[in-house]
Structure 1
Amino acid sequence: MEQTQTPQDSFATADLTDLVACPVCDTLYHFPSIPSGGQGRCARCHHLLIAPRANAMTRIVMLAVTATILMITAVSFPFLTISTHGLNQQASVIDTILAYSDGLMVPLSLAMAGLIVVLPLTRLSAILYAIAPMALGHRPARGAAHAFRVAEQLKPWAMAEVFIVGVAVALVKVGGLATLTIGPAFWAFAALVVITVLKDNFMSSLIIWKTLEARGAT
């Protein structure tokens, strides 16, 4: 009797290290060979799986360093100045966080500090630790795979860009009640949003995982 080989049979006999799973629908694929500038999408759910870019790691490192500098700037300088009835009040990101640091509002203060400052900086540090040595032509640092895993897990929780959108909406509502002067920290946050989008566009997680694996990362 003639036997028909199913797709599951072909995957069962394949080298498992060459298989990748779509993170959305778990469809299995052989690791594709796609030229720089191309894209590989899941045939079932159309999720972007791979998007090679020329000199991607170097660009990711440069953008991550830029984002770190912008984050430090955004925290260190005034965010805006409110003027009404001859009174001026400056506010920074730290002032906003500390404004809810009393009583029952302490959890809100901790959440703001974590989601707006701590987690984004932690994710940027993890990305730099995992990718920077490889971008410079060296072997991955010890624990690079774990660092990149942390960066991937923190991605949905690093909400600096959500904060700037919320602030923009609030400024529209408050603008009719007082005179607002936007400080350098606001523009630093706005630039941070753009830099973050560019960085994530260049960062193909699948390629980085395969590169870490090929270079013996731990």
Structure 2
Amino acid sequence: MTDATKPAPRTDLIICPNCDAVFSLARPGHGEKAVCSRCETVLITPRRNAGLQIIALSLSIVILISTAAVFPFLSVDAIGIKNSVSILETALVFSDGPLAVLSLTTAALILFIPLLRVMLCLYVIVPLVRDRAPAPYSADAFRVAEALRPWSMAEVFAIGCAVALIKVSALVHVTFGPAFWLFSVLVMLVVVQENIICRWSVWNALSRPRRS
């Protein structure tokens, strides 16, 4: 099929990404949202100044990831022996042994993939907020960021740490380092960013650039 015979894309329909239900497109106003009537997945959530909010949150997340990775995460005191460790040191503790792949994968899931997703988001959103044409390969960048979303596991790491600390607190004295609090704020900002961003609005802006 040549380009001349390809059917034009339907801009009057929207498909639920969760259950594949098809609806006539009705754009909600700012502060409202369009929800799938079958599975209640949120389809469109336009917000005023959402782009600026996403940029601010993304920059904050970049700073928090960079600092939380190297600052001490916690200190352990057992029978007079003290030790402190950072998140990056913990993730790479077995990097020289047979568990190197597991260690590198852990570091990627809790640090590098979240950082990559935020950088890709900034690459896509900043030109749109500035009312410029999308950056080269913006659609591919946003598609990669969305594909990596299930593998960004900062929240899972935080929950796992909470469970582990509860179990070991009766055996040793645990002191939270600055990275623990930075990472706690990081997790909250990631959740807020995921709730603010309207993916339909991003794709719509990428498909209809305002000016070159």
TM-score (norm 2): 0.91
How far is the alpha carbon of 1:89 from its aligned partner?
A: 0.3
Amino acid at match of 2:18: V
Aligned residues: 205
Among 191, 200, 212, which residue is 2:185 paired with? 191
Among 62, 83, 89, which residue is 1:89 paired with? 83
How far apart, CA to CA, are the structure 1 residues paired with 2:134 and 2:8? 28
The residue that corresponds to 2:121 in the other structure is 127
Amino acid at match of 1:68: V
The residue that corresponds to 1:9 in the other structure is none
Instruction: Name whichever structure is richer in helix by fraction.
Output: 1
How far apart, CA to CA, are the structure 1 residues paired with 2:97 and 2:177? 29
CA RMSD in angstroms, aligned pairs only: 1.8
Give the SS at the match of 2:148.
Answer: helix
Residue by residue over 1:40-71, the C-alpha shift from the partner in whole angstroms, topping out at 9 and shown as x without a partner, is 01122211101111111110111011111111
Give the SS at the match of 1:199.
Answer: helix
The residue that corresponds to 2:95 in the other structure is 101
Among 144, 157, 162, which residue is 1:168 paired with? 162
After superposing on structure 2, the runs of 4+ consecutive aligned residues of structure 1 that deviate more than 3 Å are none
Asked if the contact 1:120–1:160 (Cα under 8 Å) also holds between the matched residues in 2, the reply is yes
CA 1:14–1:38: 2 relative to 1, 3 Å: farther
Give the SS at the match of 2:99.
Answer: helix
How far apart, CA to CA, are the structure 1 residues paired with 2:160 and 2:210? 42
* Mapped pair 1:78 → 2:95: no
The residue that corresponds to 2:149 in the other structure is 155
Superposed counterparts of 1:1-218, under 5 Å? 16-215=10-209
Residue by residue over 1:142-180, the C-alpha shift from the partner in whole angstroms, topping out at 9 and shown as x without a partner, is 111111111111111000111011111111111111111
How far apart, CA to CA, are the structure 2 residues paired with 1:15 and 1:107? 43
How far is the alpha carbon of 1:14 from its aligned partner?
A: 9.5
Give the SS at the match of 2:174.
Answer: strand
How far is the alpha carbon of 1:104 from its aligned partner?
A: 2.4
How far is the alpha carbon of 1:216 from its aligned partner?
A: 7.0
Report which of the two structures shows the higher radius of gyration computed on alpha carbons. 1
How far is the alpha carbon of 1:98 from its aligned partner?
A: 2.1
Runs (5+) with no aligned partner, structure 1: 1-12
TM-score (norm 1): 0.89
Runs (5+) with no aligned partner, structure 2: 1-6
How far is the alpha carbon of 1:30 from its aligned partner?
A: 2.7
How far is the alpha carbon of 1:83 from its aligned partner?
A: 1.0
